[in-house]
Each structure stands twice: as structure tokens, then as C-alpha cells.
DNA sequence: AGGGAGATTGATATCGTGAACAACCTGCCG
DNA sequence: CGGCAGGTTGTTCACGATATCAATCTCCCT
């Protein structure tokens, strides 16, 4: 009586058909409409059909804000990553979002850049929306933030890293170990001169450290090195190589913190008349498309970023649904020898 | 009295300090706490200080779900793009999200893949969260969805495309025009033989059509062409070129629907002994990093994806704030001649 | 001193839904 | 035929905040 279908009572005209309107139209209680939408098994078929018809006729669209307030479940997950301009993060975010949507959750995306205090602020901000779960990048958090996360009492999954004390769930791998594996790989190929182009990204720094330590462990040293800004790009790889090309030994093995850097380094090396792989062997990280399909294809330390997102979604959903999910998922990495070594 | 700071009444223990708790602690009404947070100008400084202290002491975190229900403003924007695995969309999403966060909004990300019905479903799903605005990709919508969007009564910005009847705001450019510009560019360089590698993406198809039409308008024709799946990749460019390499004229100009395709085509062409640009001139689209920094750098039709996201955010915020924002923002494109032409 | 404008604070009424419990109805069993 | 179990539907209230209007209080001017 109060609200004709097209003349809602709210401020602007529009989709303000509410559950009570549907209920009135179908001749049932609002709660019954809610049940048709959320727990259809608990409604008799004839009633459900009438309700569905009313929903259709009125163009009713449930208000998940109200539902979330009432049920204290937002059906929303917040994801905080430094950037999605790099495949390193766009890949897991893509698969994670896909998987969560499949399960009826939406993903709120927040970008933290590469500053810790910015991430802290983002965490506080998204918690105000009461997400049902949280995806974070990396495993290094301040005690204050850890306490905040614990008191928020929601499942948290941290990706791309590993560490002694995860906040909750962890999906990643040991970066230092991977760096060491690359060093071993080079040594096995008979290399004795090493160089590195490494971004100032917390995890890239761990990989580099693992690489450098293992090189030292073999009694060998770096002949050249350069740090790059994060997130690092093809251009950084090119300028980085340009700066160290004079210091390279006749046969040097170059460790790069990402495939983009590796691709840039390879491109620049050739322009300087340095043959790849004869004079300069290169290993990247990430198995990005460009590394796989350029020529020669770039040897890389591969971790499936998409798989990380998928496993993170699995673990988070399991935890949300009360299952006792694994709290530490180690994803495998492997070195894929290709044309640059 | 009821709720000691650490012992909230809700289900799980945790951040269930609410605005009434803060109010009690500060000796004010809940409404005053709300004002301290939302309209601090309307509270006297001594009172505000007491409230801020109470917030600090109790670790109060506002519940934006409840606030959103009450104020009918979610402070949230939904963004629906086909994928973020391609820089074509990750770039605008990145800048858009950054800009919206700056303005106090969060961005809910939904991935629609390349199916229209999937996008329709996503639109319905996100509208249930009552976003304050919507970012969509492309300008082709069914009448039903357009009606739904209009009835939802929120600002909508469509990016990456242009058309006669935008739903609301539009930030993009004319793809057919761009395709034609590439044809003109090639013709000006004296080319008479053309080829195309084009993804089955709605906008790539428009660009191709513009290219083909303009080629025909010059009285010339394509000697070879291949369609690729969307989203297309470097690999698609390589396999695509492999399939047409036998049909190429001694001097052919190749139109590619993206820089990734162009890079793949260039890589594959060289492996087949086809010189770039002498025997095969190539023009890509998007000005991706790989095109800029590979060697030779790839001639491309450039549109600043990041700028699209930024302009979209501007326009949406203006509309939200009641300003009479422009409803059609045309972003410029330009052909950047580099080493492949 | 009276009074009105403007600043500050409070009380009340929703916002639209789902949880919890109550009521009813049906059918079957003893 | 009474009563109980199980399925179905309804009633009531709380979720946590903000919009709105009312009530003070202050200050200043005539």
C-alpha cells in the first residue's frame, strides 16, 4: 500500500524495493523471503515459487549491507597487495578473486605500495568493513598489527613468503632457499663469477641474501651488483646492467630478482655486444610470460603465482567454514633451465 | 558496565567495541562520537579530545557496514573488468583504486572474463552491496542491464571504449579510428601489403575493423590474417605469426591487437629468418613495457591505461559529489614510431 | 536586560535484514 | 482419538551506526 513498485519511499527513486515489499506481494512474512534466498531447503516449494515470482515482478535486489549487519557476515574478503602492476601480484589476485567469487564472496582490493606504514593503514581501513577474511602480502608484520589482527578474530592468509611465526595461514616458500638454489644451479654449471641485479623488495632481498650466502659458501664472490627500486621493471634491468657491464668477467652468471629485470638485462647485454648465454648467463625469477616466450627464453626460478592465489583461497575458505585448515602451505619452486644458461 | 574492553558481548571475542562503549567512556552521547569521526568541525575541541582519547583507549574501530546501512552510503566502488592478468586492465584498475582510496573509498574488484552473461551476473551481484559507484569495461550493454543500472541510480563509468549512448560517464577513445590511424601510418610509409593478428576481444575487433576498412579505402588488401583468443598473449602472437608466415609478401605491414601479440610476432618472425622491420613491419597496441624496452623497440599505438583509470576516478568522484561532471572523456591516442617500422 | 543567532550536544527513530524462538499444521503412531 | 515429531511459517528484536529534530548554552547586540 505504502510503496508502489516504481515509487519507493527512500531518497532517490530507484532500486529501493525491500524484503518487506516482496513479502507483502507474496503474502508471506519477510523472514520467509529471507529463507527463500538463503536457506531454500526450509521453505515449501509452493511458497518459494510465489516468493520467487514476487521477487521477479518487483525486481527485488537484496541489500547485502543490511544482511551483513544483521548476520555479522559480510561475505567479503579484503586483499592487500603492494601493486597489481606486476604479474607477481596480479596473478595471485586474479586467481584468488576468481576462486572467492565462485564461493560467493567478493574481494575488496587495497594497494599498499611498498611502504610498511601504508600497509598498516590499509589494514586498519579495511577491517572497518568487517571482512570475513583477509589476504596479505608477505609475513613480516609489526607486533601492534599482529595484535590488531588477532583481536579482529578473522582468518588471515599471508602469501608469497614464509617465516617462523605466521599470523594465521601462510601460503608461500622460503626465498633465501630459492636464492641458494639458483647459486647451486650456477655452480653446477661451472660458473665462478657472479653478479646480481636485485630490487629493494623485502622478499627479493631475502632471495639475494640466500644467493650471496651460498656463493660465499662455495668460496666464491660477486664481481658486480646493483640494487633496483621496487617494483622493478624491464627498464630497471636495462639500466642496471648498463651500470655493471664494465665490471663483468668474461664469463659471469647473473642473478636477477625478477624475470622483467632479467629480460631487460639480456636486452641491454646484447646491445653491448655481450653474448647471452656464452659470456653472460642469466637466471630470473617468476616465470613471467615474457621470459618464457622471448628468444632466447630466459632461465628462471619458477613459482606459480596463480597457484598461490588458488591455495590461499582454498585455505581461507576452509578456515571460514570451520574446517581445521593447514596453516602453512609451502608451494614448490623449481629452476627451469632455458636458453640463457 | 556491560562490556569491559576485552570482553565484548558478541559471539567471538574481538573488536566488538562499539560506538556506545566509546560514548559511555567519554561521557557523551553516541551521536557525538559519530560526529567526531565524520564531521569533526561540529564538535568542540575539548569534547573531541575526550572522545579521541576514549577511542584510543578502547581500540574502537568503526563498523562501516552499520554506518553504510544507516547513511545509505557504502563508501565503496565496484570495478568490473575482464581480467587483471593483462596490463590493459591492471593499469587502469591500479590507478583507479589508488585514486579512490585517496578519496576515502574502497574498491571491490570483480572479474568477468570475456563473456557478456558473466558480466551481467557480476553487475547484479555487486549492486547488492550498494556501491556508491561502478566502473565497467566497454560500452556495450544489453538494454536490460542498462535499465537495471539506471534504476540503481548510481554513477557509472565505462572505460576503454566509446559509443553513441553511454550508460552514464564514459572514458575512452574510438577504437575504429585508432585502427584507421595505424593503416594510414603504414600507407604513409609506403606499405602496400598488410596482415593482421587480432584477438577476439570486442574492442580489438573494432580496431581491426577500422584498420581493414581504411586499408580497403586506400584500394589495398590484407595478404594474411589470423584471429586469436582473448585475452591474447605473447604466445598467441608467436603461434599466430607461425601460421601466416608462409603467406607474407616480401614487405608486409603487420597490425597486432596488442603489444604482447606484437612482441610474440616479432620474436617468432626472427626465428623464421624474417627481418624486422625490413621484411615485416609491426605495429602493436597499448605501449606496454615490453614493447618499449625490447630490442628493437616496438612501434605501437599508445593509450595511457593509467590515465584512463585516473580520469575515471575523477569523473566518478565529481559525479558522486554532485558536481556536473563531463559525461564523455576522450583520451588521446598516438602512434609511437619505434624500431619495428 | 531581553532576545535572537549560532554553536554544541542529546534523544529518538530508523536503515533492511537475519537469528532465535514461538506458533501452527500435518500426519502418523500407539 | 490423543499426542508427539517434524516441517513450515510468523513474530520479535537486535545488528551498529547516522539523520533529523529538539534542547541547551554562549555570546553579543540593541
From A83, A148, A267, residue closest to B294, measured CB to CB: A267
Asked if the domains at A75-173+306-334 and A175-302 fall in one CATH topology, the answer is yes
pLDDT value of residue A6: 31
Q: Is residue A163 very low, low, confident or very high in pLDDT (cuts 50, 70, 90)?
A: confident
Q: Is residue A164 very low, low, confident or very high in pLDDT (cuts 50, 70, 90)?
A: confident
The CA distances from residue B195 to A280, A322, B84, B200, B301, in Å, are 37, 57, 28, 16, 16
Give helix B234-244 / helix B259-271 axis angle, nearest 10°: 50
If residue A79 lies in a helix (H) or strand (E), which one and from where to where? strand A76-81
Say whether pLDDT at A277 is over 60.
yes
Q: Strand D: which bases are under 7 Å from protein Cβ?
A: 7-12, 14-20
Distance of CA A19 to the CA centre of its chain: 37
Say whether pLDDT at A276 is over 60.
yes
Residue-wise pLDDT tens digits, B85-96: 999 999 999 999
How far apart are the C-alpha atoms of A4 and A159, rounded to whole Å?
Answer: 50
- Cβ-7 Å neighbors of strand D: A 27-32, 35, 42-44, 46-48, 66, 69-70, 72; B 9-10, 16, 18-20, 30-31, 33-34, 37-38, 62-63, 66-67, 69-71, 73
Say whether pLDDT at B1 is over 50.
no
Choice between A3 and B94, residue whose per-residue pLDDT is larger: B94
Choice between A7 and B166, residue whose per-residue pLDDT is larger: B166
Size of interface A-B (CB pairs under 8 A): 166
Say whether pLDDT at B6 is over 70.
no
Q: Strand C: which bases are under 7 Å from protein Cβ?
A: 7-12, 14-20
What does the pLDDT average to over A207-221? 97
What does the pLDDT average to over A310-339? 92
Superfamily name and number for B19-62: lambda repressor-like DNA-binding domains (1.10.260.40)
Say whether pLDDT at B9 is over 80.
no
pLDDT value of residue A269: 97
Across the beta sheet with B334-336, what order do the strands follow?
B221-228, B193-199, B252-256, B280-285, B299-302, B334-336
What does the pLDDT average to over A247-258? 96
Enter the CATH code of domain B75-173+306-333: 3.40.50.2300
Name every residue whose Cβ is closer than 8 Å to that of residue B240 and which is 6 or more positions away in sequence.
B197, B226, B228, B261, B264, B265
What does the pLDDT average to over B3-14? 35
Say whether pLDDT at B198 is over 70.
yes
How far apart are the C-alpha atoms of A272 and A275, rounded to whole Å?
Answer: 9
Mean pLDDT of chain A: 93
Residue-wise pLDDT tens digits, B108-144: 999 999 877 899 999 999 999 999 999 999 999 999 9
How far apart are the C-alpha atoms of B17 and A127, rounded to whole Å?
Answer: 13
Residue-wise pLDDT tens digits, B35-73: 999 999 999 999 999 999 999 999 999 999 999 999 999
Q: Which residues of B203-233 are buried (b: 16+ CB within 10 A; e: fewer)?
A: bbbbbbebbbebbeeeebebbbbbbbebbbb
What does the pLDDT average to over A296-313? 97
Domain ranges of chain B: 19-62, 75-173+306-333, 175-302
For A194-211, the DSSP string reads EEEEEES-HHHHHHHHHH
What does the pLDDT average to over B303-319? 96
**With an 8 Å Cβ cutoff, are B295 and A91 in contact?**
no
Apex CA A27: angle with CA A23 and CA A33, to 5°? 35
Q: Which fold has domain A75-173+306-334?
A: Rossmann fold (3.40.50)
pLDDT value of residue B204: 97
Superfamily name and number for A175-302: Response regulator (3.40.50.2300)
pLDDT value of residue A2: 32
Residue-wise pLDDT tens digits, A45-84: 999 999 999 999 999 999 999 999 999 999 999 999 999 9
Chain B hits for A270, Cβ within 8 Å: 295
Say whether pLDDT at B98 is over 90.
yes
Amino acid at each position: 500500500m505504502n510503496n508502489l513498485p516504481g515509487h519507493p519511499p527512500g531518497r532517490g527513486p530507484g532500486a529501493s524495493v525491500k524484503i518487506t515489499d516482496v513479502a507483502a506481494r507474496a503474502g508471506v512474512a519477510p523472514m520467509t523471503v529471507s529463507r527463500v534466498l538463503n536457506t531454500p531447503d526450509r521453505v515449501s516449494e509452493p511458497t518459494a515459487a510465489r516468493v520467487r515470482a514476487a521477487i521477479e515482478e518487483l525486481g527485488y535486489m537484496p541489500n547485502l549491507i543490511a544482511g551483513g549487519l544483521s548476520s555479522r557476515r559480510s561475505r567479503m574478503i579484503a586483499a592487500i597487495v603492494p601493486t597489481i602492476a606486476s604479474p607477481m601480484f596480479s596473478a595471485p589476485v586474479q586467481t584468488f578473486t576468481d576462486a572467492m567469487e565462485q564461493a560467493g564472496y567478493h574481494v575488496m582490493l587495497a594497494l599498499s605500495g611498498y611502504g610498511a606504514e601504508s600497509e598498516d593503514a590499509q589494514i586498519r581501513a579495511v577491517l572497518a568493513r568487517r571482512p570475513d577474511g583477509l589476504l596479505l602480502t608477505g609475513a613480516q608484520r609489526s607486533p601492534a598489527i599482529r595484535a590488531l589482527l588477532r583481536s579482529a578474530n578473522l582468518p588471515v592468509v599471508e602469501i608469497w613468503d614464509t617465516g617462523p611465526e605466521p599470523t594465521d595461514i601462510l601460503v608461500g616458500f622460503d626465498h633465501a632457499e630459492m636464492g641458494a638454489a639458483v647459486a647451486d644451479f650456477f655452480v653446477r654449471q661451472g660458473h665462478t663469477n657472479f653478479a646480481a641485479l636485485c630490487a629493494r623488495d623485502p622478499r627479493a632481498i631475502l632471495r639475494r641474501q640466500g644467493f650471496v650466502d651460498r656463493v660465499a659458501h662455495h668460496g666464491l664472490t660477486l664481481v658486480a651488483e646493483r640494487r633496483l627500486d621496487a617494483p622493478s621493471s624491464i627498464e630497471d634491468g636495462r639500466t642496471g646492467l648498463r651500470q655493471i657491464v664494465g665490471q663483468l668477467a668474461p664469463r659471469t652468471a647473473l642473478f636477477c630478482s625478477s624475470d622483467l629485470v632479467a629480460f631487460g638485462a639480456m636486452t641491454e647485454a646484447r646491445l653491448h655486444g655481450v653474448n647471452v648465454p656464452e659470456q653472460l648467463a642469466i637466471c630470473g625469477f617468476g616465470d613471467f610470460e615474457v621470459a618464457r616466450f622471448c628468444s632466447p627464453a630466459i632461465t628462471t626460478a619458477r613459482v606459480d603465482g596463480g597457484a598461490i592465489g588458488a591455495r590461499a583461497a582454498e585455505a581461507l575458505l576452509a578456515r571460514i567454514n570451520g574446517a581445521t585448515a593447514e596453516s602453512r602451505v609451502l608451494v614448490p619452486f623449481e629452476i627451469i633451465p632455458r636458453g640463457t644458461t
